[in-house]
Structure 1
């Protein structure tokens, strides 16, 4: 009779080996070409949203810093969208021509605001949107084998990180101005 304590580690190793060698459910569900297509579509939707929200911010923002940032979003995401359009054409893909529900919601909620409330909400939305875009581009580098698509992601990552950093800086400036405007001490003492 074999000792079960001796076989246990061997059986555990054998049981674990197929799980390591087997592709994940995500990899099985998304063939390589589909991952590139999904990334292109997601990047196009994000870029379109950035350009549309930037145009709104140019019209509604109170802060010069926010207006300047919004102009940069319109210009740089517009250029990125042109590059994506070229990639999509070569791959026989049609890019979305309307905002997704998340972007429409962001646009609708910002349209109802004005002044510093608009500025703050727009900048906060930009931080979140750029964090999502950065994650999407970083993940594409490990999931996608199409050289022109990964080259696009490589090219965009530094821009997206800078956009996030600029939005964070504007938000920090809002916070420091608000702190400076708050009264110190207790009145009447």
Structure 2
């Protein structure tokens, strides 16, 4: 079933990307591939957050830290490439809030999960998302960024909500509950801006 969902999402993203237009057949093909990768990443991330991340201390710390690193890197790219003032403002808010979230995780994790190393680099999936952001044209960047943000924040919410009642690491469960409103606000703002573009 997961493969069917993944294939359906990838097909829809590919069709949507092909209809966006562009300067050349090569550019259209690149945009289609990037859109498909982003859509597939969202499905993979949701599944990972719901299974591995929400069910283990190691998975939670790794998932939250890596997601946070992605958010900070994507916000930097958006600060340079976004053309819409509201998108730039969202990126600045995400940068500020995810910097604070990273600091809270760094403070809580050593005592709550002493055997878990907090990642300091992006995984390959999120590197691909950043590459796709960097490759987006000026005309498409804001939409690509917002679509990634909605998917990434949905993934993080799945992780946070799934871990929020964990009894093995109560300090991390408290952090998960504390971060839910901020992550929800980011997701909702990205979705509102994306809807306004439609």
Report the TM-score, using the length of structure 2 for normalisation: 0.69
> Which sections of structure 2, spanning at least 5 residues, go unmatched?
1-51
Distance 2:144 2:136 in 1: 8
Q: How does 1:45-60 map to 2 (within 5 A)?
A: 45-60=66-81
Distance 2:79 2:171 in 1: 32
> Which sections of structure 1, spanning at least 5 residues, go unmatched?
1-29, 176-189
For the 8 Å contact 1:39–1:136, the answer to whether it is kept is: yes
Corresponding position of 1:105: 128
Go from structure 1 to structure 2 and tell me whether the alpha carbon gap of 1:144 and 1:54 turns closer, same or farther (over 3 Å shift): farther
SS in 2 for 1:95: coil
Runs ≥4 in structure 1, deviation > 3 angstroms?
A: 142-145
- CA drift at 1:113: 1.3
- 1:123 and 2:149 aligned: no
Superposed CA deviations along residues 8-54 of structure 1, whole A, max 9, x for unmatched, are: xxxxxxxxxxxxxxxxxxxxxx8x9x812220111010011001100
For the 8 Å contact 1:61–1:114, the answer to whether it is kept is: no
For the 8 Å contact 2:65–2:118, the answer to whether it is kept is: yes
Corresponding position of 2:25: none
Across the aligned residues of Structure 1 and Structure 2, the Cα RMSD in angstroms comes to: 1.9
- 1:169 and 2:192 aligned: yes
Q: Aligned pairs, how many?
A: 145
Report the TM-score, using the length of structure 1 for normalisation: 0.72
Highest Rg: 1 or 2? 1
